[in-house]
Amino acid sequence: MVHAFDPYPWNAVATRCNAALNGLDNVRSYPVGISNRSFKIEVSPNDSRIYEKSEASNAHVIAIEDYRNFRHLKPTFLKIDIEGSEHDLFEDRDPQMFASVRGFALEFHPFWIRPRGIEPVDSLRSIMASGFSLHPHTVDSEAFDPAHYNEDNHMFWGDRQNQAALASP
């Protein structure tokens, strides 16, 4: 089963329509964003960032839901493209949050993280502290080392760290 989340209702509808046009009955689309807390925010349709209120006259109210509301779906793979809110999703380091997840693709937006007063490399460290290894660019690349952070890396693959190594003293 594929579960897609997008806070912009028109994107959620497009996902449902594309799935139907392609005969895919295993796709569910939710018109909400995902974060570590639930809230509503006004944003412009021209701005994909969901962490700051838009002052635009054409702003729409969108819903962001706490990921815990969807944990029962037990995802095994995530595609994360949340326009600078990556830090919010991983900052709680809740061990149950990603218990079923074995891997993910992360589109990383350091240029939208830094204006929030957060160092982008700290967001990557939070992801790693959640039990994942990161690989810049491709799933086969060397594991990411925060000491060699390069702001040009905008794509990361994540996979579950070796559980035996994590469990050993």
Helix residue ranges per DSSP H, 44-141: 86-90, 110-113, 120-129
Per cent of the chain over pLDDT 70 is: 87
What average pLDDT score do residues 25-51 get?
82
Q: What angle do CA 103, 104, 109 make, to 5 degrees?
A: 150
| CA dist., res. 95 & res. 69, Å (int) | 15
- Global pTM reads 0.80
What's the CA gap between 88 and 144, in Å, rounded?
A: 20
Q: What is the pLDDT of residues 97-135, one digit of tens each?
A: 778 889 999 999 898 888 889 999 999 998 998 889 999
Residue 160: band (very low, low, confident or very high) from pLDDT cuts 50, 70, 90: confident
The residue ranges of every structural domain in the chain are 1-70, 74-169
